[in-house]
Structure 1
Amino acid sequence: MSRDNKPTGPSQRMLRVGELVRHALAAMFARGEVEDDALRGAVVTVPEVRMTPDLKLANVYIMPLGGERAEEVVAALNRHRKFIRGQVAPQISMKYAPDVRFYVDDTFEEASRIDALLRSDKVRQDLEGDEDGDVE
């Protein structure tokens, strides 16, 4: 929080460490270092990593290619959290390696939902009405 009690976004340090963790995880997944039946054949992307202010926890948002079996992939990654943490630690050069927790990234789904709403007949009708100068 800032001095006037308004919430602030993540600090530069949180963003920088999150990006380091994201790159380390993406490289690790690309090499297929985590062995689990649920991960076999899955191409996992890491769109975002959010660090806690104390940098002790990395909330990792992932999405398998095509969004298929997302919950299953997240469960598998969470089962291997300790191994993953051990693999990431040497790559980020910090005194303590953050714990990692994996979540399904739903931003693509949310963007698709908003796009569908914007393309709906009701919204289109409202927009066309505004162009004609109709004001309610």
Structure 2
Amino acid sequence: METTRQSKVSRLLLKDLSEIFQKESRNLFGGKMISVTTVRISPDLGLAKVYLSVFPSQDKEPTLKLIKMNTKNIRRILGLKVGKQLRIVPELAFFIDDSLDYIENIDNLLS
């Protein structure tokens, strides 16, 4: 069960990480469209699991590898944005959110 503080921090991180990926995707990730779908934060606010949706979907794994290589830079930019609201910027763990692919697969099977 998520506390009120956890949900507020996760919404803040979702908003700011979305802005970071929107602005930095051209420079860091070759212009791929990356959307932050969900952020789940640990009870001690030390770890944030960030779920991403990548378009085009066939380039997911190389893009995720590139994002993981740039995690330190993304966390630094995030720290500049949320430094006044949070005492400690959480560690970031990135994962691919494949729920859209699952929905598309179900639609294809039904039609």
Q: RCO (CA 8 Å, sep 6+): is it higher in 1 or 2?
A: 2
Tell which structure's C-alpha radius of gyration is larger: 1
State the match for 1:21 in structure 2: 13
Deviation at 1:23, TM superposition (A): 1.0
State the match for 2:104 in structure 1: 112
Q: What is the TM-score normalised by the length of structure 2?
A: 0.85
Q: Distance in 2 between matches of 1:116 and 1:69?
A: 21
Deviation at 1:34, TM superposition (A): 7.6
* Residue pairs, 1:1-136, within 5 angstroms: 9-32=1-24, 35-36=27-28, 39-92=29-82, 93-116=85-108, 119=110
Deviation at 1:108, TM superposition (A): 1.2
Structure 1: unaligned runs, 5 residues or longer: 1-8, 121-136
RMSD, matched Cα: 2.0
Percent of aligned positions that are identical: 26
- Amino acid of the residue matched to residue 70 of structure 1? K
Q: What is the TM-score normalised by the length of structure 1?
A: 0.71
Deviations 1:34-68 (A, max 9, x none): 844xx102011111111111111111111112323
